[in-house]
Chain A
Amino acid sequence: MSAQNLTLVQAVRDGLHTEMQNDEDVIVLGEDVGKNGGVFRATEGLYDEFGGDRVVDTPLAEAGIVGTSIGMAAYGLRPVPEIQFMGFIYPAFDQIISHAARLRTRSRGRFTCPMVVRAPYGGGIRAPEHHSESKEAFFVHEPGLKVVIPSTPYDTKGLLISAVRDPDPVVFLEPKLIYRAFREEVPDEEYTVPLGEAAVRREGGDVSVFTWGAMTRVTMEAAENLAAEGVDCEVVDLRTLSPLDRDAVVESFRKTGRAAVVHEAPKTGGLAGELTAIVQEEALLYQEAPVERITGFDTPYPLYALEDYYLPSVARIEDGIRNVVEY
């Protein structure tokens, strides 16, 4: 079995490449995805290999990109539109929410929307305004959408292939902070990582820490630091936020009886609230401490001089976990 050491963004490219080779119906479209290979190089070389009909530089219009993708998907193609940054997805919001998410429902199954909307999300790269948001909760709130956020190169390729093959629309959010942070062996051939399954990144008995995307690495670092103090964290990377792997969440919580959630999105209305509700509903009698939410603040994402304060840092995560353990 051959494999290469890839970064996360290279794994995105590899996943797209694999599916474009497998299935002629897969088409990639968006701003600067063609000749330029994407502003993060996530589609590098695809234009040369598959041509301008399948790797399409579109006019600068997100509603147009996603709206036409929905039409293509309904017609039988498998479009993979790219939104250049998550902060620029809003012109397409109406199309995603009012149509992609409910085309199957509204047409009683006559029309479907097998589309993957890819977008880099999240902060920490000293980017300009509107380039750092994490608004996954908007999409998780919408029934009819699947929402995926990988945190490793291996998972990225496998989850992306699953998303492309999925019969329903998927919002695939890529943690751009760790696009090039590390490499991992990624098999050359096709493989899938199933949607809707969390991964335990670190087993531990004292406290469950639920997280995803770029926060997984910071959380792991905090967990290792805490291990030296004798606190044994179980780190669960959710990988798919909708549908959430409730079983994995509940199983871990039953073991530890304590939980923290780490996400970079604002606290209010963020997924930490949903996870808290799940453990309340499913495992109340196991609970030994309030669930701690270690999140971004309820403020607009600041310009970058303040972003290190905004994002959950190792120190903040350690502090939050200690609160749970010492309760």
Chain B
Amino acid sequence: MSVLDRGPREQIQVLDEAGELVGDPPSLSDDELVAIYREMKLARHFDARAVSLQRQGRMGTYPPMSGQEAAQVGSAFALDEADWLFPSYREHAATHVHGVPLERTLLYWMGHESGNRMPDEANVFTIAVPIATQIPHATGAAWAATLRGDRHAFLCYFGDGATSEGDFHEGLNFAGVFDTPTVFFCNNNQWAISVPRERQTASETIAQKAEAYGFDGVQVDGMDPLAVYRVTREAVAKARDPDADESRPTLVEAVQYRFGAHTTADDPSVYRSQEEVEEWRGKDPIPRLETYLRETGRLDDERVDAIQASIEEEVSAAVDTAEGERRPHPEEMFSQVFADLPDRLREQLEDLERLRDRYGDERFLKE
């Protein structure tokens, strides 16, 4: 039986909180399992470095993701290279798995225009900061693929808060009507800044909303990387198959928690208790997978240490690259507004250049 056939109120789990197998593991090679582990560790370390860069004034506001590694890595791993990923603003790990270098993510949060340019070889759409706006885009791109006869899946991430926006409804409704190959992946981390999940919807689960759109909805333990992988893999396979007799879209609700603040500008102690945080920390996805991999002989101290050393090196290199980037040239503000630079923009750029020449950059830059 497909896991997608379960009721939307039945949460799917493969590894329990102690790392014990409690469900059917997905078919993944040893190397793939270790790669998932490594990506999760990388994400955790990246997150800590990013928060610390912000604290030191080396980066702007940053949205941390620790606690959410299993949901991001497990789901993005379920994509093939040709599939598409539509992120919100917190998917640093998912986008990395699908081919976006860490330095690109750092540059974005450092305020560089170049951070917004996804590499040509990565099928990743631009980051969406306005909540839920990427959902109809993912539906539309998936729809276009069906019109072209392409067999790709489109994985779209958003939060629990996003399910309250009209764009969520419209995006999922179109997906149902036009039977698009879209997997809607809700990172339900229990909070939309200070607003708890129960304040977003009176529905018992988010997954059950799919019923009303006419496709599968499934709730998964979002802190269990193997369950997330398994559910997403099946949803992606179903999405790609135009001949399946089921509808192609799926809504996945990955139940999880953000351990840190909403962003570095947020103080979560105002709205949630430390006990709550501790309770969820008990579900931490990383020790969970590590235990399983150690107990099944796929990891040992030596490999764990080697992984730790290699991710630290990778993150440091990304930080060095991002910080080595020089301040963008003001021309970047103008160059990509239209295909061709209109006269009025050219004149504005020339005016700015004239002023910079005349008065010197220091009269413009605040720091």
Binding site for B on A (CB under 8 A): 31-32, 34-37, 39, 57-64, 87-88, 90-91, 124, 126-131, 267-268, 297-300, 302-310, 313-316, 319
Complex Cα distance, B359 from A318, in Å, reads: 11
A31 with B334: CB separation less than 8 A: no
Q: Which of B10-18, B146-154, B324-332 forms contacts with chain A? A: B324-332
Question: Measured between C-beta atoms, what is the minimum distance from A219 to chain B in Å?
Answer: 15
Q: Which of B124-132, B273-281, B296-304, B306-314 forms contacts with chain A? A: B124-132
Asked if B195 is at the interface (CB within 8 A of a chain A CB), the reply is yes
Interfacial chain A residues near B321, Cβ < 8 Å: none
A88 with B192: CB separation less than 8 A: no
Question: Measured between C-beta atoms, what is the minimum distance from B329 to chain A in Å?
Answer: 9
Partner of B270, one of A36, A59, A63: A36
A39 with B195: CB separation less than 8 A: no
Asked if B177 is at the interface (CB within 8 A of a chain A CB), the reply is no
Given contacts A127-B60, A315-B355, contact A299 B129 (CB under 8 A): no
Interfacial chain A residues near B89, Cβ < 8 Å: 128
Q: Which of B78-86, B110-118, B182-190, B283-291 forms contacts with chain A? A: B110-118
Interface centre among A60, A127, A267, A298 (most CB of B within 10 A): A60
Interfacial chain B residues near A298, Cβ < 8 Å: 337, 344-345, 348
A319 with B334: CB separation less than 8 A: no
* New A-B contacts (13) at CB < 8 Å, excluding given A35-B194, A129-B116, A303-B116: A35-B271, A36-B270, A39-B193, A60-B161, A60-B162, A60-B192, A61-B166, A88-B130, A305-B111, A308-B366, A315-B355, A315-B359, A315-B363
Complex Cα distance, B356 from A313, in Å, reads: 11
A129 with B200: CB separation less than 8 A: no
A305 with B327: CB separation less than 8 A: yes
A303 with B113: CB separation less than 8 A: yes
Partner of A130, one of B129, B165, B263, B358: B129
Binding site for A on B (CB under 8 A): 60-61, 89, 108-113, 115-116, 127, 129-131, 161-162, 164-167, 192-195, 199-201, 263, 265-266, 270-271, 327-328, 330, 332-334, 337, 344-345, 348-349, 352, 355, 358-359, 363-366
Prevailing SS type, chain A contact patch? loop
Residue on A with the closest CB to B327?
A305
A268 with B166: CB separation less than 8 A: no
A309 with B113: CB separation less than 8 A: no
Given contacts A267-B348, A305-B110, A316-B355, contact A60 B115 (CB under 8 A): no
Partner of A91, one of B60, B127, B165: B165
Interfacial chain B residues near A306, Cβ < 8 Å: 111, 113, 328, 330, 332-333
Complex Cα distance, B21 from A17, in Å, reads: 55
A57 with B194: CB separation less than 8 A: yes
Interfacial chain B residues near A64, Cβ < 8 Å: 164, 166
Residue on B with the closest CB to A62?
B165
A60 with B195: CB separation less than 8 A: yes
Given contacts A32-B193, A61-B164, A315-B363, contact A297 B348 (CB under 8 A): yes
Interfacial chain B residues near A131, Cβ < 8 Å: 129
Complex Cα distance, B193 from A35, in Å, reads: 11
Interfacial chain A residues near B167, Cβ < 8 Å: 91
Complex Cα distance, B366 from A313, in Å, reads: 9
| 22 A-B residue pairings within 8 Å (CB atoms) | A57-B194, A63-B166, A88-B130, A88-B131, A90-B130, A91-B167, A126-B61, A127-B60, A298-B337, A298-B345, A299-B334, A299-B348, A302-B332, A303-B115, A304-B60, A305-B112, A305-B328, A306-B328, A308-B365, A309-B330, A310-B333, A316-B355
Complex Cα distance, B92 from A180, in Å, reads: 32
Complex Cα distance, B365 from A124, in Å, reads: 11
Interfacial chain B residues near A34, Cβ < 8 Å: 194
Complex Cα distance, B192 from A63, in Å, reads: 17
Partner of B165, one of A61, A304, A310: A61
Complex Cα distance, B65 from A3, in Å, reads: 44
Question: Measured between C-beta atoms, what is the minimum distance from A79 to chain B in Å?
Answer: 18
B195 with A31: CB separation less than 8 A: yes
Given contacts A127-B61, A303-B116, A319-B358, contact A57 B195 (CB under 8 A): yes
Interfacial chain A residues near B364, Cβ < 8 Å: 308-309, 313, 315-316
Interfacial chain A residues near B193, Cβ < 8 Å: 31-32, 36, 39
A39 with B332: CB separation less than 8 A: no
Question: Measured between C-beta atoms, what is the minimum distance from A251 to chain B in Å?
Answer: 30
A59 with B201: CB separation less than 8 A: yes
Question: Measured between C-beta atoms, what is the minimum distance from B358 to chain A in Å?
Answer: 7
Residue on B with the closest CB to A309?
B330
Q: Which 4 A-B pairs have the closest CB atoms?
A: A304-B111, A36-B194, A59-B164, A60-B161
Interfacial chain A residues near B345, Cβ < 8 Å: 297-299
